[in-house]
Structure 1
Amino acid sequence: MYKLYFMPGACSRAIHALLNELEQPVELIARDSVADFKQVNPTNQVPVLVDGDLVLREGAAIVLYLLEKHASPTLPREPELRAEFHQWLMFANATLHPAYSLLFFGARALESDAAKQEVLTRGAARLSALWAIVEERLQDRPFICGEQVTAVDMMLAVYANWGQYFPLEIELGARTRRMLARVAEHPALVRAIESEATVAA
Structure 2
Amino acid sequence: MYKLYYMPGACSRAVHALLNELEQPVELIPRDSAADFRQLNPTNQVPVLVDGDLVLREGSAIVLHLLEKHRSPTLPDDSRQRSEFYQWLLFANATLHPAYSLLFFAKLGLEGDAARKEVFDKGAARLSALWDSVEERLRDKPFIFGDTPTAVDMMLAVYADWNQHFPVEIALGDSTRQMIARVQAHPPFSLAVERERDAAVA
Q: TM-score, normalised by structure 1?
A: 0.99
Q: How many residues align?
A: 201
Letter in 1 for 2:35: A
- Alignment root-mean-square deviation, CA: 0.7
> 2:55 aligned with 1:42, yes or no?
no
What are the within-5 Å matches in structure 2 for residues 11-22 of structure 1?
Answer: 11-22=11-22
**Which residue does the alignment assign to 1:149?**
149
**Which residue does the alignment assign to 1:140?**
140
**Which residue does the alignment assign to 1:184?**
184
Letter in 2 for 1:49: L
**Which residue does the alignment assign to 2:130?**
130
30-39 vs 101-110, greater mean Cα deviation: 30-39
**Which residue does the alignment assign to 1:161?**
161
Moved segments of 4+, more than 3 Å: none
Q: TM-score, normalised by structure 2?
A: 0.98
Give the Cα separation in 1 of the matches to 2:82 and 2:73: 11
Give the Cα separation in 1 of the matches to 2:82 and 2:191: 27
Q: Percent identity?
A: 72
Q: What SS does the corresponding residue of 2:23 show, helix, strand or coil?
A: coil
Letter in 2 for 1:74: T
Give the Cα separation in 2 of the matches to 1:85 and 1:192: 23
**Cα offset for 1:189?**
0.5
Letter in 1 for 2:55: V
Give the Cα separation in 2 of the matches to 1:189 and 1:147: 16
Give the Cα separation in 1 of the matches to 2:102 and 2:131: 16
What are the within-5 Å matches in structure 2 for residues 51-90 of structure 1?
Answer: 51-90=51-90
* Structure 2 unmatched runs, 5+: none
Letter in 1 for 2:186: H
> 2:25 aligned with 1:28, yes or no?
no
Letter in 2 for 1:14: A
Q: What SS does the corresponding residue of 2:9 show, helix, strand or coil?
A: coil
